[in-house]
């Protein structure tokens, strides 16, 4: 069954400022929208940030490289799993990114091996 609809649909062209009541309602609606959709107030967190990710001279190169190696290995695994869910063209892109991450992981592991030899 075909339903006839006007093209474009007819709309009510009354201004929100047409009467004093509509102006008050419009202002109240604007205040409510500003309250709920306005910029969020940022509150300070009580959590302390992970110390390893701060510029802290106490961490030695071996610890930093080991953490980088683990992070790159995790990223590589996530990319491979994600690529399995994509269609062919996007899968190739995700696998290419995974290979670049793996190359970074290999470089970090080599640097980690060099640090261990120096000790």
Domain range enclosing 88: 59-118
Structural domain includes residue 47: no
Residue 119 banded pLDDT, cuts 50, 70, 90: low
pLDDT at 45 exceeding the cut of 60:
yes
Residue 63 lies in a domain: yes
Compute the average pLDDT of residues 35-60.
68
In a domain, 46, yes or no: no
Distances (CA, A) of 50 to 53, 54, 69: 6, 7, 17
The pLDDT of residue 15: 63
d(CA 92, CA 98): 10
For residue 28, pLDDT beyond 80: yes
Residue 93 lies in a domain: yes
In angstroms, the CA 71 to CA 104 distance is 11
Residue 28 lies in a domain: no
Domain count for the chain: 1
The answer to whether residue 5 sits within a structural domain is no
The token pair at 5 is 């609809």
What pLDDT, on a 0 to 100 scale, did the predictor assign at position 100? 94
Q: Place 99 in a pLDDT band, splitting at 50, 70 and 90.
A: very high
Instruction: Assess if residue 69 is contained within a domain.
Output: yes
């Amino acid at each position: 069954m075909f339903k006839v609809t006007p093209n474009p649909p007819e709309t009510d062209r009354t201004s929100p400022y047409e009467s004093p009541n509509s102006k008050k309602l419009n202002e109240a609606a604007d205040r409510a929208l500003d309250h709920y959709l306005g910029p969020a107030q940022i509150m300070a967190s009580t959590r302390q940030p992970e110390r390893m990710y701060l510029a802290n001279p106490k961490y030695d190169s071996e610890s930093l490289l080991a953490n980088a190696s683990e992070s790159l290995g995790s990223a590589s695994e996530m990319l491979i799993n994600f690529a399995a869910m994509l269609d062919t063209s996007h899968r190739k892109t995700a696998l290419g990114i995974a290979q670049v991450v793996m190359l970074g992981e290999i470089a970090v592991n080599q640097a980690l091996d060099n640090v261990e030899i120096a000790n």
